């Protein structure tokens, strides 16, 4: 029996890209068994954008509580044995779910499957699963296909790096991932919203700013968030 796939989409002020995201999921060669959209208190045109999908998509609404809370609200409504937490500004390749699911079938020892992706015009290349490398830096996107029985939940207290925390928590429980060497989704440009496309070049995060005595704010925010994860997992 083919395991059911639940796709959970937390969204906040993503009216511009939500329909594109949903259409790409509904056109999958392996159509998800359920799509759950959790509107985390949006005040834009999200409600109107969702109206044409009534009956094909389960819609959950809540006051604004942040992405981890929205993901968990969707998880609690889901029924699939395979989970994919999809961002609302993503265009999925038509074969994304099929390739991720087939990879998990071939690798029963793996708890989740992940891929590389494109952010606007920039390619983010992932790598084969390496627990040592994962403890040093996150290279796995939230948009991975996860076995439900191994999913520990998101830490609602975290503001950033919820995905890195998830993979480290799973690693500590003995659950590992498997890499699909393909670009299976694209993060879209959403005008007016900040995202990875506004980050500084990667080399900026390797400069020893502490020795210099000053650092750009984006670097400081990144390092503070990363340090919270390192302390939690005693890295």
Residue 211 pLDDT: 56
Range in 19-28, 54-63, 115-124 the model is least confident about: 115-124
Q: At 194, is the pLDDT very low, low, confident or very high (cuts 50, 70, 90)? A: very low
Mean local confidence (pLDDT), 112-124:
92
Q: Looking at residues 102-126, what average pLDDT do you find?
A: 95
Segment 13-40 shows an average pLDDT of 96
pLDDT surpasses 70 at 146: yes
CA distance linking residue 166 with residue 218, whole number of Å: 23
Report CA torsion sign: 94, 145, 32, 156. Answer: negative
Domains of the chain in sequence order: 5-193 (3.90.550.10), 199-235 (no CATH)
Total Cβ atoms within 10 A of residue 138: 18
| pLDDT recorded at residue 221 | 66
Mean pLDDT to the nearest integer, 56-83:
96
- pLDDT given at position 132: 97
């Amino acid at each position: 029996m083919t395991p059911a796939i639940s796709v959970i989409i937390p969204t906040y002020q993503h009216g511009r890209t939500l329909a594109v995201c949903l259409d790409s999921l509904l056109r999958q060669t392996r159509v998800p068994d359920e799509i759950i959209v959790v509107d985390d208190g949006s005040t834009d045109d999200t409600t109107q954008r969702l109206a044409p999908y009534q009956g094909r998509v389960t819609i959950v609404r809540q006051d604004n509580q942040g992405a981890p809370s929205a993901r968990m609200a969707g998880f609690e409504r889901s029924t699939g044995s395979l989970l994919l937490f999809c961002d609302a500004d993503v265009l999925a390749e038509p074969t994304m779910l099929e390739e991720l699911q087939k990879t998990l079938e071939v690798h029963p020892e793996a708890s989740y499957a992940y891929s590389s992706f494109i952010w606007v015009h920039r390619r983010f290349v992932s790598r084969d699963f390496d627990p040592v490398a994962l403890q040093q830096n996150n290279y796995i996107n939230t948009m991975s296909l996860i076995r439900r029985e191994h999913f520990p939940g998101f830490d609602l207290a975290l503001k950033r790096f919820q995905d890195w925390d998830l993979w480290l928590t799973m690693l500590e429980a003995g659950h590992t991932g498997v890499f699909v060497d393909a670009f299976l989704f694209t993060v879209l440009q959403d005008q007016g919203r900040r995202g990875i496309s506004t980050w500084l070049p990667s080399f900026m995060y390797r400069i020893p700013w502490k020795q210099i005595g000053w650092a750009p704010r984006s670097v400081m925010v990144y390092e503070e968030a990363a340090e919270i994860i390192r302390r939690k997992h005693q890295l």
